[in-house]
Structure 1
Amino acid sequence: MPSTETPDRIRELPRNVSRGAAPAPINSVGPLTPHLYAPDAVRPLRAKEHFLKADTLVELHQHPWPQLTFSTRGVIRLSTQDGSYIVPPSRALWVPANMPHSITLIEDAELRTVYLHGWIAPSWEKCEVLEISRLMRALMLALDTTPDGLPPADPHAAQRERWIAPLLVDELERATQIRIDVPLPANKRLRQLCETMLRAPASRATLAERAQAIGASERTVARMFRDQLGMSWQQWRQQAVMAHALPLLARGMPVSQVATASGYATDSAFCAMFKAATGQSPTAFQHKKKS
């Protein structure tokens, strides 16, 4: 069954120059031909890979099978109608079947996607951020990435996919689930404000300035956050900052640089916010690269 996406294309998007707004992603591309990797009973797992530049937007699309999205290098952000998920290389994101989603490349990245046939997939109904075990990574990277219409690089690809499928699903169900998501509102104007913040977390624009950019008052926007998301602007912004900062820390970026990239004028202010939110200092989340 073919997916419902539009064909691949690349076009230039205009940059938003209003005060407090961030530049929109420069390159917008279609959904990277998922219909050429449709899983079925013979090939229950299908994998594909794409090398994409930072600030590339893979446009909103959906398909009738679930997927795992991860990157071997570079951080990505996957967005759905209900929220946005930051995915560093140490994690993978489960996306259920028929869920519209888009992907933004925060850095240059090698984007990997594994599609699963419905009969083998876990029955998760919402997105899940999963810690990638060494075995899970090895299994996903072992899958052939040749699209339909071309002979597989591995002539035994279909057989290997059938062998790998049950073990990969078992690893998925054993994986630690991690909350790195930022809820997004249904209201179009408030969503515009939130997405601008997510594109440029270092911006120090005030809520009043952000509200003006969408043609609303600060008081109105504050009320919309409470009504739409059940939290204040400050609480939502903290979640957005945490989602941005955690993968940077996990890659070993110095705390001072993470603070600046997160819009904090001083390291101490960033560390105080971080410790209040997690109970630990930012350095506790820094990891050395594993060989």
Structure 2
Amino acid sequence: MQEIRHTPVAPTRTQHLASGACIDAHRHDDHQIIYAGRGTIAVTTVAGTWVTPATRAIWVPAGTVHAHQAHGQLELHLVGVPSRENPLALDEPAVLGVSPLLRELIISHTNAPEGQSDEQLRLRAVLLDQLRLAPQQPLHLPAPSTPLLAEVCDMLRSDPADGRSLAELGRRVGTSERTLSRMFRRDLGMSFTQWRTQMRLHHALVLLSEKTPVTSVAHQCGWSSASTFIDVFRRTFGHTPGSHHNAV
């Protein structure tokens, strides 16, 4: 992220982006809620990437440098929250579960005309109350900070179907399985298997947004069968990839 725009006020609005479109790196003095009503949004910071479907939203704290990328025809809903208000008491990005009520509140609030009518203020108050109840979801794909681990992660991200073991990857980069295992735990806060599964799920969301058939998504992301992929996807997101495919 080179040139960083500073937009002090985080906007509250709805906007539409074509698949592949990007919003460059920028930061706000406000907090922001980012929600994809349709399509899939990837939000990237120096700490890693968050990719979310329409059942999740991303909380971006004030001052966080972040960039967006659209996957599928994106209906993007943005809610700015003044820095003095922090309903989640979070100072780092997080993925939040979005209930049907919270979804409708976000869409209604971001589609409303600009202004501070009594109705808008009441709607916003309910939205923030619901936000406090939103469960956090472990959908963050952390970015490695060391060159050796970055090399391994780049290899896997370039081919999510790569099925090599940690020992095989260690031989490829000239280190041991034990060393790589420690690096994943220390630098990324998760095991190699957890990171690879998370990476594959992120890639699956992107492919589904591009209308790729579920069986092909499973194959391209390295699952042994479509049924295995469907089971992992359902346990993670609460719905099947087929129903997600129809929603994006």
Q: TM-score, length-normalised on structure 1?
A: 0.63
Task: Identify if the C-alpha distance between structure 1 residues 101 and 141 changes in structure 2 by more than 3 Å, giving closer, same or farther.
Answer: same
Which of 197, 204, 218 is the equivalent residue of 2:162?
204
- How far does residue 81 in structure 1 lie from its aligned partner after superposition? 2.4
Which of 199, 208, 220 is the equivalent residue of 1:240?
199
Partner residue in 2 for 1:222: 180
1:84 corresponds to 2:41? no
Q: Deviations over 1:70-126 (max 9, x none)?
A: 111111221222232121012111111112222222333122211111233312222
Contact kept? 1:76, 1:106, Cα under 8 Å:
yes
Partner residue in 2 for 1:125: 91
Partner residue in 1 for 2:149: 190
Q: TM-score, length-normalised on structure 2?
A: 0.73
Task: Identify if the C-alpha distance between structure 1 residues 50 and 188 changes in structure 2 by more than 3 Å, giving closer, same or farther.
Answer: farther
Q: Take 1:135 and 1:283, find their aligned partners in 2: how far apart are those partners? A: 16
Partner residue in 2 for 1:179: 138
Partner residue in 2 for 1:168: 127
1:102 corresponds to 2:67? yes
Counterpart of 1:60, as a letter, is: A
Q: Take 1:136 and 1:201, find their aligned partners in 2: how far apart are those partners? A: 36
Q: Mean Cα displacement is larger for which, 89-98 or 241-250?
A: 241-250
Task: Identify if the C-alpha distance between structure 1 residues 189 and 48 changes in structure 2 by more than 3 Å, giving closer, same or farther.
Answer: farther
Partner residue in 1 for 2:14: 49
Q: Take 2:230 and 2:65, find their aligned partners in 1: how far apart are those partners? A: 32
**Superposition RMSD on alpha carbons, in Å?**
4.0
5+ unaligned residues in a row in structure 1: which ranges? 7-32, 40-45, 146-152
Which of 73, 80, 88 is the equivalent residue of 1:115?
80
Q: Mean Cα displacement is larger for which, 226-235 or 70-79?
A: 226-235
SS of equivalent to 1:93: strand
Output aligned runs, 1:27-38, within 5 Å. Answer: 34-35=7-8, 38=9
Q: Take 2:236 and 2:64, find their aligned partners in 1: how far apart are those partners? A: 36
Partner residue in 1 for 2:102: 136
Q: Take 2:205 and 2:110, find their aligned partners in 1: how far apart are those partners? A: 31
5+ unaligned residues in a row in structure 2: which ranges? none
Q: Take 1:55 and 1:169, find their aligned partners in 2: how far apart are those partners? A: 31
- How far does residue 170 in structure 1 lie from its aligned partner after superposition? 0.4
Q: Take 2:39 and 2:52, find their aligned partners in 1: how far apart are those partners? A: 9
